[in-house]
Chain A
């Protein structure tokens, strides 16, 4: 048994650290630490810095402009980015569509799409969920009917994250209604400026507008925008979603959140003592840090399995379950540690003249935002179904 990384892996970690120290703009990492929404320019700026280093598309093979990393190197990179408060680059083009095009796309599609993801020309968003198709994705109803060289698309997509910044969307659409619902789904790419495509923001519980709904009314999409075969969309989507799972445990995020709590607890007073000395808080944090330490090791165990080609199908579901529980517990801990001071909201750093750390001003909205963790990417109940199937039906 050996918990240590190899010498090469440690050297790589140092390389990543140095890179982040030198290249990560402090204006951006400050926003990440404070839970302030990044704007389009922030993402593009950081994306360009990563791309210049060849570290943007972390899951792509070298021939397509990825770094060609092993699973362990990818883990080290994501963990370092998280603990150093680098932005998590939107996954839609980089980790979801990119590998899907590499696997299922035509040569023309590869040449047209991949470079534009890397250089930031295209911002992709995802059109999977619908008002009537959430966890039960196969019940989706958005229709695409072939008409000459085009598909005519009608329907509605929702929960389109960061769609307001995007110029293109990849969609699952229904191209057949007979047989099993999974069998009549196709995967198609749509330019958002196509006539008949309309995007509207959804205001969320924390007041932000991170997600959108997208309406399709007789939108004519060129037939060559189909990825793979007609009605092959379900297996393409399943492949794509396995890439949604990278860094699913979010250990680095939790480590950053724990540090944020500890800084607050060591320097903030309540009823004559530091919060760090408050017995109830101290007991809660002791158990959360224990769960996090166990999760860190569980994550490494699954990573070693992946490296050795011994990964089980349920590993990522287990990591998602515990990872989201820990992250949500830390959000709750931080918000409650602020006591009465969690109530006022300051949306801009410059407006924060409260006598508290600047991160504190957005603690409550950020807590509410984090309730999404156990809902999206396959709700935690869906994850339990997946594990149960393996555990009880094999």
Chain B
């Protein structure tokens, strides 16, 4: 099982599940409100200097910054570059 936190810059993925066993209710709703929803396509665009954390992802037409800690509760499946649109 891979999560958003496991991806590196340039990779595309589709969100499979937000929440699941990890992530509190407030975090899950916050992620959903920001457009990180099941079925959304995401792409990792940037990593912060030095530690590579937080990351910036493109989702539903916006750029969202989040830490890998929070990204861990977003389960994804990798998309190859072709299928990513």
Q: Do A and B come from one complex?
A: no
Residues of chain B touching chain A, judged by Cβ–Cβ distance below 8 Å, are none
Residues of chain A touching chain B, judged by Cβ–Cβ distance below 8 Å, are none
